A and B are shown apart, each in its own frame.
Chain A
Amino acid sequence: MAFMTVPLALLGLLEREPSYGYDLKRDYDAYFGRDKPLQFGQVYATLSRLTRDGKVAPGEIEPGGGPDRKLYAITDGGKHEFETWLRQPIDPAPHLQTDLFVKVVFALMLGRSAERYLDVQRAAHLRRMRELTALKRKGDLVDTLLADHGLFHLEADLRWIDMTAARLPALAEVVSS
């Protein structure tokens, strides 16, 4: 249960205050759905499952009708599940095997230019970093924090790319032996 799921996100938003489905979607999209906004159908299907599992309690349908007029509240069971998730550290992904590494090894093994591959990869990473920097420059603080996370990870990859480029002759000997 390391990664945040949509049910967990909705539980977290509901712990703040009882909410309508529309408000949950709006807040989810603002903070967590920049790349992939929630569909209304998914919001109500998730709330329905959380209700069935006793994590959420729906209120009465208010006058005006429609599913959006139902106020949802988190239950003690829901609070417990969310609290348990929030306390757990996520896995510091070790990324011991990456596509970058696999491509470098195959390039060396098969006599292709690993350096050329690394140059192309570096250019692709830097291009993505420019996009994220542009997003950060025109966005708000949430955009900045999300873009920073991407930028630091891409930078880590780039450091690996540069170190690997410097170690290619030694790695070529290992691969060909």
Chain B
Amino acid sequence: MSGTNALAVVVPSRCLLEARDVFYDFGETPALRGASLSVAEGEILAVMGPSGSGKSTLLYALAGILAPKHGEVDFDGQRLDTMREEQRSRLRRERFGFVFQFGQLVPELTAEENVALPLLLGGTRREEALRVARTWFERLELEGLERQRAGEMSGGQAQRVALARGLVAHPKVLFADEPTGSLDSLTGELVMELLVTTAREEGTTVVLVTHEPRVAAYADREVIVRDGRAVTSAPVAG
């Protein structure tokens, strides 16, 4: 059984993250059927595809959230697929950031406490974690909302807080799964603008799952996932 892609995936610089011939299923339902792709360091890659194509599952496999049933996932020279869960968990906490479509903030905590969470989980003292968290509010145009409860914010504000939380620990890779999926066009555009700008400033690699072409257009290139395989990829230079 081979999962070789129809087209070679062209990457512009050092490969940071790679899936090779990855299979995954949810019981009887196959989700990934030999997906392969490479993500270059510093690249912003859009993973597109119709609903149910396996694009989110591929993101979870790349992020070490799911262990593939078959195939290999490499991150920065380490095999994620053979790593023990506690190691993967630490890697996710220390090297990866995440932004999802909904429900990712703790509603009872303030915005700054939400942003500080990855630092607190990593052992930073509370005062220091909150101080660092607050430095992100101006960058993401959230000044004045530091003490607001997450549950009382608008969708666009909540996504920007989630983005700050995803980047606060300076992850190597930011995984964003439909980060604008619940926002209107203008708000989604602001979130994407800030996501791309801050990721570039930080040198963070981004894997962005989206079904919206206008969101994917912020990326350097796109991969299309169809029937559990990454079937198309256009190089940056086109």
Q: Which residues of A come within 8 Å of B, CB atoms?
A: 119, 122-123, 125-127, 129-130, 132-133, 137, 151-152, 154-155, 158, 162, 166
Task: Check if A119 sits within 8 Å of B232, measured CB to CB.
Answer: yes
Among A123, A130, A152, A158, which residue has its beta carbon within 8 angstroms of that of B219? A130
Known: A119-B231, A123-B234, A126-B234. A133 touches B224 (CB 8 A): no
Once bound together, how far apart are the Cα atoms of A70 and B125, in whole Å? 73
Known: A119-B224, A133-B217. A127 touches B50 (CB 8 A): no
Interface residues as binary, B198-234 with A (CB distance below 8 Å gives 1, 0 otherwise): 0000000000000011101111101010000001101
Known: A162-B50, A166-B50. A127 touches B234 (CB 8 A): yes
B238 at the interface (CB under 8 A from A): yes
Once bound together, how far apart are the Cα atoms of A133 and B232, in whole Å? 21
B contact residues, range = 10 to 19
Which of A137, A154, A166 has the largest count of B CB atoms less than 10 A from its CB?
A137
Task: Check if B217 sits within 8 Å of A129, measured CB to CB.
Answer: yes
Can you name 10 A-B pairs with beta carbons within 8 Å?
A119-B232, A123-B232, A123-B234, A125-B213, A129-B213, A133-B218, A137-B193, A137-B196, A151-B214, A154-B213
The count of A-to-B residue pairs whose CB atoms sit within 8 angstroms is: 40
Q: Which residues of B come within 8 Å of A, CB atoms?
A: 50, 193, 196, 212-214, 216-220, 222, 224, 231-232, 234, 238
Chain B's nearest CB lies how many Å from the CB of A163? 10
Chain A's nearest CB lies how many Å from the CB of B115? 25
Q: Which residues of B contact A123 (CB under 8 A)?
A: 222, 232, 234
Chain B's nearest CB lies how many Å from the CB of A123? 4
Q: Which residues of B contact A122 (CB under 8 A)?
A: 224, 232
Task: Check if A130 sits within 8 Å of B50, measured CB to CB.
Answer: no
Task: Check if B224 sits within 8 Å of A132, measured CB to CB.
Answer: no
Q: Which residues of B contact A130 (CB under 8 A)?
A: 217-220
Chain B's nearest CB lies how many Å from the CB of A114? 14
Once bound together, how far apart are the Cα atoms of A129 and B238, in whole Å? 12
Among B217, B231, B234, which residue has its beta carbon within 8 angstroms of that of A151? B217
Please list the 7 inter-chain residue pairs (A to B) with the smallest Cβ-Cβ separation, ordered nearest first.
Answer: A129-B217, A133-B217, A123-B234, A127-B238, A158-B213, A130-B217, A155-B213
